[in-house]
Structure 1
Amino acid sequence: MELQVSTVSQAGHAVVTAVGELDLYTAPRLQQALVALLREQEVDRVVIDLSGVEFCDSTGMNVLLSGMKRVKERGGVFELAAPRPAVLRILQVTGLDTVFTVHDAIPALDAM
């Protein structure tokens, strides 16, 4: 399955939405979107909307960790939102649910 990635930003806050499977083959698409976002815009908060991600493997998790590192190096905040049960389970089993800030729902841009 392919991964679709879209970004919406407003006033230094961005929501990056991923839909599909986040794995070895598709993770570079999300990584490229995050790199482009950080290169092209001044953002201090990035929320990754995982509500449409059906599967995530270790490569996908590494892309998320790398994105978090880049955002935090710039003094920003990196959060995950609305992971499906299968993705949430991977976060919990790996202990990454304590590394990432994980929200049950996607915060509205104007509430960010």
Structure 2
Amino acid sequence: MELKVATRSSGGTAIVAVSGEIDLYTAPQLQAEFARLISTSPQRVVIDMSEVEFCDSTGVNVLLSALKRLRERGGDLEVAAPRSAVRKILQVTGLDSVFTVHDAVPDDLLTTEHKG
């Protein structure tokens, strides 16, 4: 299963839309996109996980690493629209209290996207 990553930015906010599976084989692709994105110093990054079917511990580690690097620069990483399998991983590991988790991509970002 391949991983597709699309990033769009507006102001100090970026939305990273991910689809497919985040695992040992595809996580480096997501990690590379976060590294590129973090170098632009966004204040807020929202990862849209509505199309992510599976995320293993490697994927979770990529998210945690990105969160750490963003917070070091005064930013934050939020998780939006995780499917039930991904949401369960976040809950079981306690990461649902580490990340801000939204049921959907926040409306203010959708509005920004259309103004784009």
Matched residue, 2:51: 52
1:89 is aligned to 2:88: yes
Gaps of at least 5 residues in structure 1 are none
Secondary structure at the aligned position of 1:83 is classed as: coil
Aligned counterparts of 1:52 and 1:84: Cα–Cα separation in 2: 8
Secondary structure at the aligned position of 1:105 is classed as: coil
Amino acid at match of 1:81: A
Q: Kindly state the Cα deviation for residue 38 of structure 1 after the two structures are TM-superposed.
A: 1.4
Identity value in percent: 63
TM-score, structure 2 normalization: 0.91
Aligned counterparts of 2:63 and 2:33: Cα–Cα separation in 1: 12
Matched residue, 1:36: 36
Aligned counterparts of 1:49 and 1:99: Cα–Cα separation in 2: 17
- What is the number of equivalent residue pairs in this alignment? 110
Q: Deviations over 1:55-81 (max 9, x none)?
A: 000000000000000110000121000
Gaps of at least 5 residues in structure 2 are none
1:24 is aligned to 2:32: no
Amino acid at match of 2:72: E
Matched residue, 1:79: 78
Moved over 4 A (4+): none
Amino acid at match of 1:69: K
RMSD: 1.2
Q: Deviations over 1:80-103 (max 9, x none)?
A: 000000000111111111111100
TM-score, structure 1 normalization: 0.94
